[in-house]
Structure 1
Amino acid sequence: MKKLQTNWLTDGLIDFEYKKYLLLAYLEGVKEEFGARRLYPVFSDLIMHYNNLMQVKEHKKLVYEQFPQRISRADFNKLEIIYQKIVEDDETMREIEEIVQFAAPKFNHALQNGKEIYDYIESNLEISPVGITPLYRDAGYLFLDEFTGKETRVYEYQMTIFENAYETYRGINTLFIDTFRRSLSNTYENLKVSLVKQRKKLPNPATFVIVAKVPCSFDQSLLPIAKRTLVKYVSKL
Structure 2
Amino acid sequence: MNTLPVNWLTEGLLDFEYKKYLLLAYLQAVKGEFSQHRLYPVFSDLIMHYRNLVQVKEHKQLVYESFPQRISRADFEKLQLVYEKIVQDDETMEQIEEIIQYATPLFSTALNEGKELYDFVERHLEITPVGITPIYHDEGYLFVEHTAGKETYVYSYHITVFENTYEKYRGINTKHLQTVRRGLTLTHEHLKIQLIKERKELPNPATFAAVSRFPVPLEQSLLPIAKRSLVKYVTKLAA
Q: What TM bracket, shorter-length normalisation?
A: over 0.9
Structure 1 position 184, deviation (Å) = 2.8
Which amino acid is the alignment partner of residue 206 of structure 2?
A: A
Structure 1 position 150, deviation (Å) = 2.9
Question: Could you list the runs of 4 or more consecutive aligned residues of structure 1 that deviate by over 6 angstroms after TM superposition?
Answer: none
Equivalent residue number for residue 125 of structure 1: 125
Contact 1:155 1:175 in 2 (8 A): yes
Equivalent residue number for residue 139 of structure 1: 139
Equivalent residue number for residue 87 of structure 1: 87
Structure 1 position 71, deviation (Å) = 0.8
Structure 1 position 148, deviation (Å) = 1.6
- 1:124 and 1:115 map into 2 onto residues whose CA distance is 14
Unaligned stretches of 5+ residues in structure 2: none
Which amino acid is the alignment partner of residue 108 of structure 1?
A: S
Which amino acid is the alignment partner of residue 188 of structure 1?
A: H
Q: Taking structure 1 as reference, are residues 70 and 168 closer, same or farther at Cα in structure 2, changes over 3 Å only?
A: farther
SS of the equivalent of 1:30 reads: helix
Which amino acid is the alignment partner of residue 154 of structure 2?
A: V
Question: RMSD of aligned C-alpha atoms?
Answer: 1.2
Equivalent residue number for residue 156 of structure 2: 156
SS of the equivalent of 1:95 reads: helix
Contact 2:149 2:215 in 1 (8 A): no
Which amino acid is the alignment partner of residue 62 of structure 2?
A: L
Which amino acid is the alignment partner of residue 121 of structure 1?
A: V
Provide, for residues 2-28 of structure 1, a one-character-per-residue CA deviation record: whole Å limited to 9, x for no partner. Answer: 110000011111111110110000000
Structure 1 position 185, deviation (Å) = 2.2
Equivalent residue number for residue 17 of structure 1: 17
Equivalent residue number for residue 99 of structure 1: 99
Residues paired across the two proteins, number: 237
- 2:165 and 2:50 map into 1 onto residues whose CA distance is 20
- 1:89 and 1:190 map into 2 onto residues whose CA distance is 67
Contact 1:216 1:222 in 2 (8 A): yes
Q: Taking structure 1 as reference, are residues 22 and 79 closer, same or farther at Cα in structure 2, changes over 3 Å only?
A: same
Provide, for residues 107-136 of structure 1, a one-character-per-residue CA deviation record: whole Å limited to 9, x for no partner. Answer: 000000000000000000011000111111
Which amino acid is the alignment partner of residue 148 of structure 1?
A: A
Contact 1:150 1:181 in 2 (8 A): yes
Equivalent residue number for residue 177 of structure 1: 177
Unaligned stretches of 5+ residues in structure 1: none
Q: Is 2:199 the partner of 1:199?
A: yes
- 2:176 and 2:213 map into 1 onto residues whose CA distance is 22
Q: Which shows bigger deviation, 103-112 or 148-157?
A: 148-157
- 1:234 and 1:48 map into 2 onto residues whose CA distance is 27
SS of the equivalent of 2:48 reads: helix
Contact 2:140 2:156 in 1 (8 A): yes
- 1:62 and 1:166 map into 2 onto residues whose CA distance is 23
Q: Taking structure 1 as reference, are residues 34 and 79 closer, same or farther at Cα in structure 2, changes over 3 Å only?
A: same
Which amino acid is the alignment partner of residue 101 of structure 2?
A: Q
What is the identity percentage for the equivalent residue pairs of Structure 1 and Structure 2? 67
Q: Taking structure 1 as reference, are residues 81 and 167 closer, same or farther at Cα in structure 2, changes over 3 Å only?
A: farther
Equivalent residue number for residue 5 of structure 1: 5
Structure 1 position 163, deviation (Å) = 4.7
Q: Which shows bigger deviation, 175-184 or 40-49?
A: 175-184
Q: Which shows bigger deviation, 137-146 or 174-183?
A: 174-183
Contact 1:160 1:172 in 2 (8 A): yes
Q: Taking structure 1 as reference, are residues 164 and 18 closer, same or farther at Cα in structure 2, changes over 3 Å only?
A: farther
Structure 1 position 147, deviation (Å) = 3.5
Which amino acid is the alignment partner of residue 219 of structure 1?
A: E
Contact 1:157 1:172 in 2 (8 A): yes
Structure 1 position 157, deviation (Å) = 0.3
